Structure formats: structure tokens, C-alpha cells
Amino acid sequence: MRRFCSILLSVAMIFCMAGCTGIRTAESSAGKAYVIGFSQVGSESDWRVANTRSMMATFEDDPEYELIMENARQQQENQFAAVRKFILEGVDFIIIAPTVEEGWETVLTEIHEAGIPVIIMDRSVAVDDEALYLTNIGSDFLRQGNLAVEWLEEEIPEDTQIKILHLQGTIGATAQIQRTKALEDAVAKHANWEISSQLYGDFTEAKAYEVMTAYLRENKDIDVLYSENDNMTFGAMRALEEAGITYGNGGQVKIITFDATREALQYCHDGKINLCVECNPLFGPRVKELIENYRNGIPIPKHVYVDESAYTTQNITQEFVDSREY
């Protein structure tokens, strides 16, 4: 603590020497609250927006906590800068939703040396020393991919050749790595499955629409679209429509999407999307519980997975869609 105070003091002095521009410190902004610095990936998708909301809503009405969120706009360097700022401010706790898995060793070591506990949320980090973070709470992305693949295995007879168009999210993000792995492993096992192309959509609707539109100008022979998140799927659907290609139940292209947000579930219910694999973004309450356990000295597991399913037109009702929280 004394170390933080002296860091804070020197930072404040530097700012005052530079013309007293002012600095928001953990102390000044929060009184005695337990301050959490949260480095969020960005706002690239509906999933992400729901995730941010869940985190904000969980902590905002609790005077015991203050959550300071920094939006990295999908750039890992912005996350490094945010984390270093949190360290200087002397926050009590740090949460990181990492953009990509690689590259975290240095900054996590800096946090460790500052004695601040860290939770890795949503995606994972690839570091040798697991002691650099308390726990990783997120989805089992490989299981999600396998749910998709198992559904496709049931849909496609062994003697039918299929061409799969694969829309990929941010390369190097756990959600991309594992969802891609599930598909590639399955394609290697099925002689009748072929990935016709892998397009980079960065988990955003705009990028997916752009790459799909360009692709469809030259290629229209697609049987399955495997899209690694809902927003890319929405962009792809628009491009398919403009190219005059049918999709969904009874259409040319079967669509598999990940996240299962309300909008995607509605399309699924309406027969426009064939399979929605669920990815739950509502981590706020679970993260808070983990922090409270940590503060109370209750041991917490190294990995916490959330439970998820997959939906088709056959197994969802309008009521279910309407009750979806995200």
C-alpha cells in the first residue's frame, strides 16, 4: 500500500508539474470503495455490449465497489496501456477480457509484481505461469464448436459433398481459435466436407458484410456458412440476400452461428438461421462472486466454465426468444 501511495504521489507530482491537468486516482474517485479496473475488448458485437452491460449493472449500484472500464477498441496495445494505468492508480483488482491469447506475459508480470489480483474473463491468455492470474472465467469454446459440428454431422448424409464457407473472428482470440479448431478437425474426419474458403470478419457485422459481398461476386457455390459470431452472420445474411442466394431452412445455405443473442434466436425461430450455438455474456454476477470469495479467503477454481446449449427452429419457442436477456 505504501508503495502505491508513493507511486500515486509521484504521478500526481508529474501531472502538477505539467500544469496540474488533474488525475483521477482510485483514492479520489472512489473514497473507500474497492476499485476494479476492467479492460474490455471493445464493442464489436451485441455479445460484447451485453457483456459490458452485465459488468456495469453488477457493480454500479453497489457502493462497496467502483468499476473503472477501459474500452480497448479491439487493440491489444490499448489493453496494455489501460492495465498500466490501473497499476499506477493503485486499483485493488483487475479484470481483463483479452483480445487475443498471446503476448500477455510482460504486462501480467507487472500486475503480479504490483500485488494486484487479476481475473481473465471471456477469452483466455496463453502464459506458461498460471500463477499470473487468479482464475479464467469463460466459455468452453471448443465444446461450442463441437456442438455445431455434431449438428452438421446429423444433417449431412455421408454420401453428400458439402462446401463450407467459414467466417472467422479476430485471429488469435480464444473464441476464434477453438471454434475454428472444432470445424477443421471435423473436416479432416469427413471426406465429404470441404472448407471452400476462410474469410476474416473480425467479429463485426460491417467487416463480414464487406468480405462476403466481395466473395459472392466470384463464388456462389456454398452449402453451409459457419460463422463464428452472430454479428458476422447478420452481415453475411445481408450479402447473401443481395447476391440472390437463399439461406436457412429450405434454402441453399445452411447457417450456423455462435452467441445466440436474441436477434439471432429470432432469425432461428423464423427459419433464417439453422443453428444458434449459445455463448453466454452475462458474467457480471459470477465475476463479483469470485471477487467476493477471493476477498473472503475462499479458494476459487483456476477455470470456470459456463453452461451452454445449441438451438434450432425445432427446439425454441417465441416465448423463449422474447425472454432472452441479451
**Site of interaction with ligand GYE (CB under 6 A):** 44-45, 47-48, 122-123, 139, 173, 175, 203, 229, 258-259, 279
Cβ proximity to ligand GYE, 85 vs 286, nearer residue: 286
Residue 308, φ and ψ in degrees, nearest 5: -140, 155
C-alpha cell at 1: 500500500
Cβ proximity to ligand GYE, 89 vs 259, nearer residue: 259
74: left (phi over 0), alpha (psi -120 to 50) or beta: left
Least spacing, CB of residue 161 vs ligand GYE, in Å: 29
Cβ proximity to ligand GYE, 98 vs 248, nearer residue: 98
C-alpha cell at 254: 445452411
Rounded Cα distance, 181 and 201, in Å: 17
Least spacing, CB of residue 95 vs ligand GYE, in Å: 14
Residue 83, φ and ψ in degrees, nearest 5: -65, -40
Cβ proximity to ligand GYE, 48 vs 269, nearer residue: 48
Cβ proximity to ligand GYE, 26 vs 167, nearer residue: 167
Q: Are 95 and 119 in contact (CB under 8 A)?
A: yes
Least spacing, CB of residue 91 vs ligand GYE, in Å: 23
C-alpha cell at 268: 432461428
Cβ proximity to ligand GYE, 47 vs 247, nearer residue: 47
Least spacing, CB of residue 314 vs ligand GYE, in Å: 23
Rounded Cα distance, 186 and 302, in Å: 29
Least spacing, CB of residue 16 vs ligand GYE, in Å: 40
C-alpha cell at 181: 479448431
C-alpha cell at 279: 455463448
103: left (phi over 0), alpha (psi -120 to 50) or beta: left
Cβ proximity to ligand GYE, 47 vs 215, nearer residue: 47
Other Cβ atoms within 10 Å of 63 Cβ, number: 10
Cβ proximity to ligand GYE, 35 vs 183, nearer residue: 183
Task: Give every CB contact of residue 126 below 8 A, 6+ residues apart in sequence.
Answer: 101, 102, 104
Rounded Cα distance, 212 and 232, in Å: 10
Least spacing, CB of residue 179 vs ligand GYE, in Å: 8
Least spacing, CB of residue 258 vs ligand GYE, in Å: 5
Least spacing, CB of residue 234 vs ligand GYE, in Å: 11
The conformation of residue 131, written as its DSSP 8-state character, comes to G
C-alpha cell at 37: 479496473
